[in-house]
Structure 1
Amino acid sequence: MKDIELLAPAGDLEKLKMAINYGADAVYLGGEEFGLRAKAKNFSIDEIKSGVQYAHERDKKVYITLNIIPHNEDLEGLEKYILDLEKANVDAFIVADPGVFSIVKKVVPNMEIHLSTQANTTNYSTANFWHQQGVKRIVVARELSLEEIENIKNNTLDTLDIEAFVHGAMCISYSGRCLLSNYMVGRDANRGECAQACRWKYNLVEEKRPGEYYPVYEDDKGTYIFNSKDLCMIEHLPKLIDSGVKSLKIEGRMKSSYYVATVIRSYRMAIDAYLKDTKNYKYNKEWLNEIKKASYRDFTTGFYFDKPNSEDQLYGSSSYIRNYDFIGLILDYDKENKLATVEQRNRVFKNDKIEIFGPNKGFYNQEITEMFDEEGKEIDVAPRAKQIFKIKVNKPVEKWDMIRKAREE
């Protein structure tokens, strides 16, 4: 049980470092090809090398997504790319397609392979088949209950690991195999270009009455009929772990560094509390309150306890709830003068009331009483993106700590 892994998304190098610093045991990321997040910044080979070095120096792991459902032309260059990734010393590949799997086994036979949720593994027979082929880990389909996951674990070898999503956006198509984006705008979700057409607003049109739009339910503004709530299982981590899940996966390679840090930090605290004393573990509602200080939709437990129903959908809006703004990343701290050097992320003013938080610790509140530019001149506002400025802080801070501010509205 001590080997439980918290697995974080990394959309770029900063997010990789943020995830690791805030408590992730491993990160998963995509290169510039062959992954399912084409709109993320993603990593060049050199950036992957840097990220792997950063992770390994801290005894963390890096997994690379090769999980597109490829057409013939998508296979061009794959073998060279796989060899480049092996030289970068990555820890595992995440694959979904049997053809990609076979190429990986041929080119880098000793590479650890994880089977993506895109492969739709929903039973122990399929899991055993893939383990016999050389798959080390199964990322189970999101459509499984805890009982089904436990059944898979009980009917597979101990050498096969189970990974499951525990937090983030939910796809309305079976394990993400969606055709809406392709049909609507010609962007193939299964080749990394999903337009999230499921979150658009829809009305009903009868075939012989073109132009007459009927709401799917009684609201003249229409409805977001396919729009799921976001998954959140932080209240139920003991049940997930007890079901046999080894790796707890957070969704969100397109999300911000602030989101990654905030969510990972809460799950880290919850996992550590459970593993420290499983018999006397108590859920702390502050972990969820902290998660809600990043952007979020309303939450659901997905399929884990029962099949989703109308309560798990968001019919009124596809927008995120944002109660806090990330306003700065702390780069340095002058202990003698109690000054924090900050990289601005959203506009911040003197006299703003802020919260400062960081890895492995809580947060505290203070008011900004003094602000200075890089030359030491006193200022009243830091308006420019990534502007470097300094503020007087009430308590010691560290590099990678973050500053947030409640939104006035």
Structure 2
Amino acid sequence: MADFENLVDRIYEAAADADLWPQVMHDLGGAVDGAGGIILTRRSDAWLGWRYSAALAPGAEEFMRDGATRTQATARMLALNRAGFADAQEVFTEEEYLADPLIAEWGALAGLHHAAATAIPVPSGDFVVVQVNRRIGQQCFSRGDLARLDAFRPHLARAGLLAARWRLQKLRAAAEALAMIGLPAAVLDATGKVLAANALIEGLRSHLMWLPKDRIALVDPAANELLRRAIAEVDDPTASSVRSFPVKGAAGDPVVVHLIPATGTARDLFEGGFSVLAVTPLAAPSAPDAALIQGLFDLTAAEARVAGGVAEGLTLDEIAARHGVTVGTIRSQIKSVFAKTGAARQSQLAALLAAQTKIPLK
């Protein structure tokens, strides 16, 4: 069992490095003889990101994507309005608890039963949920157990505050970096709320409308419907929504809008489910370099070369011949590019890249 001060130190370290949360959640659970824990961020009805210890891993991803919105646990816990941890038995009867998706579709399959959880508000409307579980056959959490967990709660709250502030700084820096190479851009969360925007996109009044509650819309109704659909499906790499499309301005001047899902290392616990909205002229006079495109889509150098070949209109055989690799290698790389960009076909990928740049192939 980790000692109190050491675990507190690592909670603050995890605020800056989300990869530390699984071990922190394991040790937090261990502090009260639990199997482990999970930490989640939520806005409105959307779960934005989560990290969990190994004991909670079986079925966790499937539950968070498909079942988390159906559990009554969060709503009942919030109704307690308690600034501390609560045992699930305080808000459920045993029959209700066993039937709830939290246990029926996840916990029982992972060999877990009793849970203690707390909800912690953080700035910008998010809140953080921390839950620890015990294995089937163990007793529920006692008042002493909850008191021990409550001792960590202020530190979890401060870590959440720090992570949220660092998150906003990083998103603003990303938007400003795009402005430096002439791209109007904004960062949107999973619900379409604007988290950061550069001055260039704020000036596009002929193409964009700024709505209440930090929302953005396109003046072109057909394009705006495509944008709304793309935002709703931003976390689904197999979605059929178009993520690169032309937009007519109020004066008829066209631009191309790209919705770029954040993937891989671009995401962490407090940045789940966001995307970059970038705007380019229909015929861009200059192009961002390959490093920028790799960063936007989280591509490797090899994947960027394949994407560039697709943008040129080359076949996979031609791309393979150009770089002296097998077609099988190129097929594997193009699948990875599709997953990272949200494109489903080569033509869709070409459309996404064509208005921005032809990635240098050397």
Flag whether TM exceeds 0.5 (same fold): no
TM-score normalised by structure 2 residue count: 0.29
Greater share of helix = 2
